[in-house]
Amino acid sequence: EAGVAQSPRYKIIEKRQSVAFWCNPISGHATLYWYQQILGQGPKLLIQFQNNGVVDDSQLPKDRFSAERLKGVDSTLKIQPAKLEDSAVYLCASSLVLSWGRPVGAKNIQYFGAGTRLSVL
Amino acid sequence: TQLLEQSPQFLSIQEGENLTVYCNSSSVFSSLQWYRQEPGEGPVLLVTVVTGGEVKKLKRLTFQFGDARKDSSLHITAAQPGDTGLYLCAGSFGNEKLTFGTGTRLTIIP
């Protein structure tokens, strides 16, 4: 079974430029997550989709970040304009179902992609 | 903000030694997960603990959930170079959202 695919693997841009990341989740997974992982820290959830609807975007800096999952499969995360502090690894994860407080089981385990490493100069 | 603190932040030990890393919070977890992340890869789930006092073993790795469900530990016996990586705990506090700790970067020296 193919894992979560992300592209590009690396991206270097100058501040104030725009950038987009792409994620293809595991086939059949309804829930998709975007995380930001700054060097030396754990991942921080940016946005969570259930099919093509947003479940949680409370930690997404909406003045510059946007994300969409139009057909409930692939997703894109965009930053416009980028700032120096946006330098990080952007991880995409997917799970079969949304847990909504249910005990964690095989169906709501999150599987992560390898991430996109963004450097803003 | 629910904060998960992991300690130590960095750990470098010789192959064959034992080690323990910790994950602590002031809040009660509904469940807690441990992940390992290797350079250039995403985190990979190792284990999930749900019940206070629960102990789970995965080969040389032993995971323990505190009785009060506020803390957890990961013990590795006879560490091997393949154990090198970033160990992350992640907790759920009654909803499905995972909150990750800051991680412990482990290096096993051959």
- Mutation test of the interface with chain A: which of B96, B97, B105, choosing the one with the most A Cβ atoms within 10 A? B96
Residue B95's beta-bridge partner residues? none
**Cβ within 8 Å, pair B40-A114:** yes
Residues B65-99 have pLDDT tens digits of 999 999 999 999 999 999 999 999 998 876 667 88
* Nearest-neighbour CA in chain B from A80: distance (Å): 24
Residues A54-77 have pLDDT tens digits of 989 999 999 999 999 988 899 999
Alpha-carbon gap, residue A46 to A56, rounded angstroms:
8
DSSP designation for A2: -
* Nearest-neighbour CA in chain B from A103: distance (Å): 7
Closest A-chain CA to B38: A114
* Nearest-neighbour CA in chain A from B26: distance (Å): 18
Q: How many Å from the N-terminal Cα to the C-terminal Cα in chain A?
A: 37
How many residues does this entry show for chain B?
A: 110
pLDDT at B50: 87
Residue B24's beta-bridge partner residues? B5, B71
Angstrom CA distances, B18 to B44, B51, B68, B87, B105, stand at 22, 25, 25, 15, 15
Residue B20, chain A, CB below 8 Å: the answer is no
pLDDT at B41: 93
pLDDT at B64: 96
- Mutation test of the interface with chain A: which of B28, B98, B104, choosing the one with the most A Cβ atoms within 10 A? B98
Q: Two tokens at A38?
A: 């700054």
Backbone angles phi, psi at B82, to 5 degrees: -70, -10
pLDDT at A88 over 80: yes
* Nearest-neighbour CA in chain B from A98: distance (Å): 7
pLDDT at A2: 80
- Can you say whether the dihedral through the CA atoms of B90, B91, B97, B100 is positive or negative? negative
Q: pLDDT band at residue B55, thresholds of 50, 70 and 90?
A: very high
**Cβ within 8 Å, pair B45-A109:** yes
Q: pLDDT band at residue B29, thresholds of 50, 70 and 90?
A: confident
Cis peptide before A8 (omega within 30 of 0): yes
Q: Which of residues 47-86 of B touch A (CB under 8 A)?
A: 48, 50
pLDDT at A99 over 70: no
Residues A14-61 have pLDDT tens digits of 999 999 999 999 998 989 999 999 998 899 999 999 888 998 999 999
pLDDT at B53: 94
A40: which chain B residues are within 8 Å (Cβ-Cβ)? 102-103
Q: Where do we find the tokens 């994860």?
A: A93
pLDDT at B37: 95
Query: Rounded to 5, what percent of chain B is helix, strand, coil?
Result: 5, 55, 45
